[in-house]
Amino acid sequence: MTPPPRFDALPHIGRMNRLDASRCACCIRRTNCREQVWGGPSPMGSEDNWTSRSHRTAVRIGTAILAGEHPPGAPLHKEADLAAELDVSRNTLREAMKILASKSLVEVSPRRGTTVLPRERWNVLDPDVLDWSTTGLRDGSDLLEELLDTRAVIEPAAAEGAARHGTPADKARIRAAWEVMQSYADSDDIPAKVAVDLDWHIAVASASHNRFLVSIMGSIAHVLGEHLRHLNDREGNYEGNLANHRRVTEAIEASDAATARATMVLLVAQARSDTRRL
């Protein structure tokens, strides 16, 4: 049997998907993202780079906040104590707190110190916040249910829009993505399965020509990819939902908006059912 093509060599794999994979490929490959950030060389090539240390410190604190180690409303340790705990200078810590404040994770007050903000104020569509949240997709937290709820709203609308407004080129891209997905049936290459599956979903959203839907899908692409990786860890989940992907593809090609929406509802419902069996 001829092996499926490498997903990163395919011309129709979406630009957004490639950028996302390069930004945090370690999450898709199941290596430890936090260890990669803290144990490896700095992105700037120097562990002593102040800006790099500030960002790494923000990653460490932000990940801890999103993991529930610092609950909303709780004050963080005093600056001197936290700097000593993290083994960074106070200037580095202050810059890290500015990063976290810009993402609405914390509020810094001269009198009250630094406090974790309520969850509803967090900028959950910020790419970094989504990156730091991916542990929640593996530990059964509410984040996973919220992602599935979001998919249940966004993706049927995107499929309907693609059927109504997709161009021949859009539909060809969706068909090509589906065919590559099909070629990976029964493959044990989980990263490739995740990439081609994600590309299909992004292609459908792009074909809707709805700027809000496209923007939302682009924002959640990374965390969606991690969810797909989580699903595909269980043998048969990928193959079990291929028929729904095919039916959505065919409905979009036929400009059948009602069927495209209804079938995408079934696809996301199957993903929810598969998730609950993990």
**pLDDT (0 to 100) of residue 123:** 87
Residue 114's DSSP bridge partners are: 108
Task: Domain 7-25+128-276: give its CATH code.
Answer: 1.20.120.530
Beta-carbon contacts of residue 257 (< 8 Å; ≥ 6 apart):
160, 161, 163, 164, 251
Please, are residues 23 and 132 in contact by the beta-carbon 8 Å criterion? no
Per-residue pLDDT at 11: 37
149: Cβ–Cβ under 8 A, 6 or more apart, which residues?
Answer: none
Query: 6: number of CA atoms within 13 Å, CB side?
Result: 3
Q: Given this model, what pLDDT does residue 166 score? A: 97
SS3 of residue 116 by DSSP:
strand
Rounded Cα gap, residues 179 and 10, in angstroms: 12
Q: Looking at residue 29, what is its pLDDT?
A: 31
DSSP state of 75: B
DSSP bridge pairs for 113: 109
User: Which of 226, 205, 237, 218 has the alpha carbon at shortest distance from 141?
Assistant: 226
User: Collapsing DSSP states into helix, strand and coil, what is residue 201?
Assistant: helix
d(CA 263, CA 244): 7
The predicted pLDDT at position 276 comes to 85
Show the low-confidence residues of the chain (pLDDT under 70): 1-51, 134-141
Note the pTM of the prediction, 2 decimals: 0.69
32-121: what fold?
A: Arc Repressor Mutant, subunit A (1.10.10)
Domain spans in the chain, listed from the N-terminal domain onward? 7-25+128-276, 32-121
What is residue 173's predicted lDDT score, i.e. its pLDDT? 97
The four Cα atoms 98, 103, 106, 111 give a dihedral, to 10 degrees, of 50
Q: List Cα–Cα distances, 66 to 3, 86, 102, in angstroms.
A: 40, 17, 15
Measure the CA–CA gap between 242 and 246, rounded to whole angstroms. 6
